[in-house]
Amino acid sequence: MRYTVYGLVVLLIIIHQDNWLWDDKRLIWGFMPITLLYQAGISVAASIVWFLATKYAWPHHLEEVAKEAPAQETGETE
């Protein structure tokens, strides 16, 4: 599933380049330019893909960091 999520991110980047709408001036619902609606859809789709990423590709092991030990002092390294 992790790789499916990565694939979806790549797909988002590809479909973001909507060459087929370049010269389309249609208004959807009488006011919304189709290009703007499509790109707003890309924003919603991005949010969904990132939600899937938090479900299926989340680095859970990093959540343990805060549980294992208190934070180091600023600028203090091992």
Partner 1 sequence: MIQLVIIGIYLSLLLFLGVFSSRLFKGTSKDYMLASHSIGPFLLLMSIFGTTMTAFALVGSSGEAYKEGVGVYGMLASSSGIIHSLCFFLLGIKLWSWGYKYGYTTQIQFFRDRLESDRIGIILFPILVGLVIPYLLIGVMSSGVVISSITEGAFESSFADYDYGVPPWLGSLVISLVVLIYVFFGGMRGTAWANTFQTIVFMVLGVVTFVVISSKLGGLQAASHAVLEKNPSKLMRAVDPADRVRYAERYQTWTLVAKYNYARRILKTLKLTDAQKAEAYKEFKPRFPNWQTSAEAIYASENELYKLTNEQVNKALLTQDDRVMPDPFPDKWKQGLMAHHDLREYPRRANAEDEKAMLIFAENIGHPEHDLDPNDPSKGKKWTIKKALGVYRASSWAPDAPHPMSKLVFFTYFFVPLSVGMFPHLFQHWLTARSAATFKLPVVAHPLFIMIVWVPCVLVGIWATSATFEGAPLFPPHFPANAVLAAMVKKMTSPVLAGFLTAGILAAIMSSLDSQFLCLGTMFTEDMVVHYAGKDRFTDKQVVFMARMFIIIIVAITYGFSLLEPRRVFTLGVWCFSGFSSLFPIIFAAVYWKRLTKAGTYAGVIVAFGTWLYLFREAKFALNPDYTFLGMMPVATMVVVSAAAMILVSLVTSPPSKETLVRFFPED
Q: Where are the alpha helices (DSSP H) in 1-78?
A: 2-16, 34-56, 60-68
Helix (H) or strand (E) holding 1: none
What is d(CA 47, CA 77) in angstroms, rounded to the nearest whole number?
A: 36
**Which residues are near partner 1 by CB under 8 A?**
9, 12-13, 16-19, 21-25, 27, 30-33, 35-36, 38-40, 42-44, 46-47, 50-51, 53-54, 58-59, 61-63, 65-66, 69, 71-78
Residue closer to partner 1 by CB (options 3, 69) is 69
CB of 3 to partner 1, least distance (A): 15
